[in-house]
A and B are shown apart, each in its own frame.
Chain A
Amino acid sequence: MEKKNKVTVMDIVLLVLSAVLCLGTKFLFHACEVMEGESIMACHWAEQAVTGVAAVLVIQAVLLAVTAGKDTRKGLSLAMIPTAALTACIPGGLIRLCMMADMRCRSVMRPAVMILGIIIAVCALVNAVLEWRRA
């Protein structure tokens, strides 16, 4: 008999945070505006990269919410940790941002992405531990 999946609070938290990171980077705490006629700055590509990796986090969170197998859930939770850490490292770490600290990419996007990335990584770790204890 197949086990019925029960969506946990942590599943919902991870899904919401990943969605906020993915959509927020695009619409809320986005990088500096691209001015018409001017060259595209590096922070624009950092925004694109964060959105892409955060979309992977959303998919992982959705899979986590619909999966019942304990080992699969543990694996998905563990997989979310490096993905979230990678997202946090993109702006300013892997992709350089604008020169001035008061520019939007450095004053808003970078701290927001870093905080959300770290929170998601911590929540995924907690979820993995909970799954391991439940096993």
Chain B
Amino acid sequence: MKKITKSLSYRNLVKRPARSIALMLLAAFLSFSVFGGTIIVGSLRSGLSSLQDRLGADIMVVPYEAATKSDLENIVLQGNTGYFYMDSSYLKKLAAMEGIGQISAQFYLASASSGCCSIPVQIIGFDPETDFTISPWIKKSYNRPLQDMEIVVGNSLNAFVGDTLTFYGTDVHVAAKLDRTGTSLDTAVYTNENTIKTLIQASLDKKLNNFGDINPDKVISCVLINVAEGYTIEDVLNDINLHVRKVEAVQTKNMISGISGSLKGISDVIGILTAAIWILSLVIMIIAFRMSVNERKKEFAVLRVIGASGKKLFHIVLTEGILVSLSGSLIGIVVGALVILPFGNFIEAQLGLPFLLPGGLKVAGLACISLVASVTAGSFTGALASYKISRMDTGLILREGN
């Protein structure tokens, strides 16, 4: 008997292809909106948390002009290429201050797009002895100390271990490629202090950057600080801004507050859109199932007359609902996966926000949850219609129109 129920439901769907396809498309919309919306919001959240991890310091101290001209945010958050320098004596001055836990300097250099360089890219130099932000992250991909003239490339760069890149006529070798972070840091190149100083000197020799009169051995771009235990970030920050001239101390948490705001805005919009799609699709599916059941009232009455119970009719219509929503939901998830997963870089570029797609297992989990949610919702609309048909008065229906 179960076989008959399934076969009847299947044939009902096949015999009315237009109605079945329309219902399947609605179910596809349901699963697509949940799956796509969850992946996008999840990727943005992962991107933000990845950016927080990568910044990895409580305070950044930069030249005053860099902080006011938004150079800092452009380089660190937007992934634009750029550079700024201050005297290296600031590092010693800051290290001697109270409340400093960890302290390390970084060096920024932008390669040019002309023939001297393989790619226009942001080059970030760090001191391996004191660094506490980049090294732990590099260690995940490369377990040896970075040698001179070796670089580590961000995940989004089309360069691989063993490749040789040229910056300002100087060859450097790719020692490792970092894991994806979903942030602008994926498009940068990382190297040690000696190598970046060599590159800064090479760019000075070629007169391709507007550095002015600087000595690469006596400059740094920024100082990263982790506050010592027993001190608050605000206290140390205020102390630096009050007592050290020509520099600006910036709290990294505040730097990403703009991104957090945009992320909240996008999450809200996606949430509202998903809710609207769900409400509309469910209402349309309820109406469509009800109309379909109403136009087939006589067919169901005949089934009752030949011995089918009310429960049987309930099962036939419910099975139709499950078949339609299951196939539609699968289509929605496949389309969602094809649209969102391969185009992650494009979405990231369009949104201008950190975007880190989840791993395969998480995507599979989200697909299952979306499938269950939309099949349950689709089946519910079928169940509403089937409940009505299971309680109909057969005699009354068969006499209708006579």
The interface of chain A, by Cβ under 8 A from chain B, is: 96-102, 106-108, 111, 114-115
Contacts and interface: CB of A to CB of B under 8 A. Distances in A.
Contacts of B248: none
A100 B342 contact: no
A97 B157 CA distance: 10
Interface size class of B (residues with CB under 8 A): 10 to 19
B346 A107 contact: yes
13 contacts: A97-B158, A98-B158, A99-B118, A99-B121, A99-B159, A100-B121, A100-B187, A101-B158, A101-B345, A108-B343, A111-B342, A115-B338, A115-B342
For the complex of A and B, 6 pairs with smallest distance between CB atoms: A101-B156, A111-B342, A107-B345, A107-B346, A99-B119, A102-B349
A101 B187 contact: yes
Interface string B110-123: 00000000110100
Given A102-B187, A102-B345, 4 more contacts: A100-B157, A102-B348, A108-B343, A115-B338
B158 A99 contact: yes
Scoring B186, B345, B349 by chain A CB atoms within 10 A of each residue's CB, the highest score goes to B345
Contact of A111 (B157, B186, B343): B343
B377 to A, nearest CB: 28
Contacts of A96: 158
A44 to B, nearest CB: 15
Contacts of B349: 102, 107
A96 B159 CA distance: 10
A106 B343 contact: no
Nearest to A39: B115
Interface of B: 118-119, 121, 155-159, 186-187, 338, 342-343, 345-346, 348-349
B342 A114 contact: yes
A114 B341 CA distance: 12
Contacts of B342: 111, 114-115
Contact of B157 (A99, A107, A114): A99
B158 A102 contact: no
B159 to A, nearest CB: 7
Contacts of B348: 102
B265 to A, nearest CB: 22
Contacts of A98: 158
Contacts of A107: 343, 345-346, 349
B151 to A, nearest CB: 13
A114 B343 CA distance: 11
A107 B156 CA distance: 10
B153 to A, nearest CB: 9
A106 B345 contact: yes
A124 B150 CA distance: 47
Nearest to A42: B158
Given A100-B187, A102-B156, A108 B346 contact: yes
Given A107-B349, A108-B343, A101 B157 contact: yes
A101 B183 CA distance: 12
A97 B343 CA distance: 16
A111 B347 CA distance: 12
Contacts of A106: 158, 345
Contacts of A97: 158
B120 to A, nearest CB: 9
Contacts of B118: 99
B338 to A, nearest CB: 6
